[in-house]
Structure 1
Amino acid sequence: MLSTPHRPDAATRAVPADLPRKRDGARSRAGRVPAGRRGRLIAASALGGALLMMLHARIPNEVGQLGSLFQTFLPWAGLSVPVLLILAAVRRSRLAAVAVVAPAVVWVSLFGGAVVDKSSAGGDLIVLTHNVDEANREPGRTARALARSGAHVLALEELSAKTTPVYERELAASHPYHSVHLGIGLWSTYPLHRVEPVPIMPWTRAVRATVDTPKGPVAVFAAHLASVRVTPTTGFATARRNEAGRNLAEAVAAEQLPRVVVMGDFNGTSEDTALKPLTSQLRSVQREAGAGFGFTWPASTPLVRIDQILVRGVSPASSWSLPATGSDHLPVAASLRL
């Protein structure tokens, strides 16, 4: 009787030694990143962002004024937190999610107080500053809005030979005392004395005056620091602005009156360390008595606060922005206790 050769079935066939065996029936997961390593790039970005915000004052300005540029938009660095959280969720990375806590904590420590309303009632003197914009097509409407603002002292920047008479006419009834020096003007409900230009630039961009309030004299400076530009060759060009800021700082330091108000278009934020010679002498009314960041430019979609009211020897009670006029800047005002 012939016998047929034995043919092993599939279950008993030998597996060649050079083929990898799959353990526990699991499929190969070659090429998949281990869970513990997922999100490392996101985590590194989060920690780097936290470090930049924490050390923003030490970012050098030697190359393209990068420090000033970053500090100008520093509040917006907080937007990185939700973006990084979304990326961490997409990557399903616990490491990245934990790392995002770092920039969140740093941002809150820097700006958490800004989102709280710190204003209070009262005050003895209301001041207002507004870059009215040389190209403003409705100076009359702007002037009437300022007349209704309730401010005792108005500091206006970017006046022109054409628009100055309009402001003088519209503000004559509400603010009978005024003085204009080229593009800078002061209007007041109280008498003005010792009004004189402050030489911060080759042409007049700042004035100083004594305002005789019912509670005594107050030194008021109105200024418009030089404009800044962002160019491919120079980066964030702020040299002229910084020089004007230093010159203004010297004038403020030499002021003899104990109560001082400095306001105007600084073309820079209070966080910008390049303006520290000026801002270190004074206190920001928005930081001490405002609600929110008080962004002022551009008026249509405010992104930065470059219009400032800074004080010394007085206490800010409240700080606020006014509705848009025909200018590309928003007016800002503050109530002060003398």
Structure 2
Amino acid sequence: MRTVTEQSIDERAAGDPGGRRRRRGLVVSLIAVLLAVLLVGHRAVPNVHGLGSLVDSATPLLGLGVPVLGLAALLRRSRRALLAVLLPAVVWVALYGGVWLPSAAGAGPASFRVASQNLRSGNPDPAATVGALAAADVDLIGLQEVDDDRVDAVLRQRYPHRAAVSTVALWSRWPIRDSVGVDTGLGWDRALRAVVAAPQGDLVVYVVHLGSARAGHTATRDETLAALAAAVRADQASRLVLLGDLNTAPTDRVFVPLTRLLRDAQADAGQGFGFTWPAELPVTRPDHVLYRGLTPTTAGVLRTPDSDHRAVTAGFRW
């Protein structure tokens, strides 16, 4: 036979759903904390079979989990869970909120403008793609996956100077004094280095297409990026621009060797993440304009027809 005290405790427990509400909010709270930890420590994820690189590249998109968790907390009517969701929200804003602020890049007009575009092998109308780049009134165009003579036919009148190695090429309004292939360890050159005789002085331009990366298969990309970083490190040019599809996002840990040598035009003079791939609904940025010895004035993304990548553009002042 139960005592009166035991009976009253049982009755209160049966009539008070607070414990159940706390348990319902607990799952959302735990996920929110784990999301915040992943945002802060994504580079601690082991890079086994490219897993770490994949998580690094996707980190900016993890912010999409915040409104989902917030909605779940509301549906569960859990104030504790709502407070927990604030943690990843604050972390994401601290890490990436600044990319949406107006650029603090150098004021004034650009001395020259550049564009980089992966044309896509087998592009049904590469002439339309490069026509959109030419219409953007840039001075230098770096292209990857060039495999069609129609490209040169469209560009040669406005850009009479050209350098090419395998499937990468540079078109310039100004004379190209020298160009050589750059070995990135693929067994064949898929990068070039050119010296452009710009009106203000010589400018070294790299056009690069690094090794491909797929889920679970990033070793080739990683090796080519390391080789490219070594080539740039050995280059004595004081003014240098690198245009290309590097098959990696700027948040990827393997990108660090390049960021130690060159600056990112999108980060310094653009607004937003500058995603370029896939073109229809871009969720990452494998296409880059990197530089040193110059002042960026603008940077952005250009939608072009018939390619699976959007183009990247940037303006610079000497």
- The alignment's TM-score, normalised by the length of structure 2, stands at 0.92
SS of match in other structure, 2:49: coil
SS of match in other structure, 1:187: strand
Structure with bigger helix share is: 2
Task: Please point out which of 188, 199, 204 is paired with 1:203.
Answer: 188
When the two chains are superposed, the root-mean-square deviation of aligned CA atoms in Å is: 2.0
Contact 2:301/2:312 (<8 A) preserved: yes
Q: Give the length in aligned residue pairs.
A: 313
Contact 2:178/2:194 (<8 A) preserved: yes
Are 2:172 and 1:172 aligned? Answer: no
Task: Please point out which of 37, 49, 52 is paired with 2:35.
Answer: 49
In the alignment, the residues of structure 2 paired with residue 166 and residue 17 of structure 1 have an alpha-carbon distance, to the nearest angstrom, of 92
Name the structure 2 match of 1:188.
Answer: 172
Name the structure 2 match of 1:159.
Answer: 146
In the alignment, the residues of structure 2 paired with residue 92 and residue 314 of structure 1 have an alpha-carbon distance, to the nearest angstrom, of 53
Measured at CA, do residues 30 and 148 of structure 1 come closer, stay the same or move farther in structure 2, by a change above 3 Å?
closer
Task: Please point out which of 251, 257, 261 is paired with 2:237.
Answer: 257
Contact 1:46/1:84 (<8 A) preserved: yes
Contact 1:121/1:318 (<8 A) preserved: no
Residue correspondence of structure 1 range 289-308 to structure 2 within 5 A: 289-308=269-288
Contact 2:163/2:194 (<8 A) preserved: no
Contact 2:132/2:304 (<8 A) preserved: no
SS of match in other structure, 1:229: coil
Q: CA deviation at 1:108?
A: 0.7
Residue correspondence of structure 1 range 1-338 to structure 2 within 5 A: 21=7, 28-29=14-15, 33-61=19-47, 63-118=48-103, 120-160=107-147, 163=148, 165-200=149-184, 201-230=186-215, 235=216, 237-338=217-318
SS of match in other structure, 1:129: strand
SS of match in other structure, 2:282: coil
Q: CA deviation at 1:153?
A: 0.7
Q: Which runs of 5+ in 1 are unaligned?
A: 1-15
Letter in 1 for 2:122: A
Q: Percent identity?
A: 37
Q: Which runs of 5+ in 2 are unaligned?
A: none
**Greater Rg over alpha carbons, structure:** 1
In the alignment, the residues of structure 2 paired with residue 27 and residue 328 of structure 1 have an alpha-carbon distance, to the nearest angstrom, of 60
Letter in 1 for 2:46: P
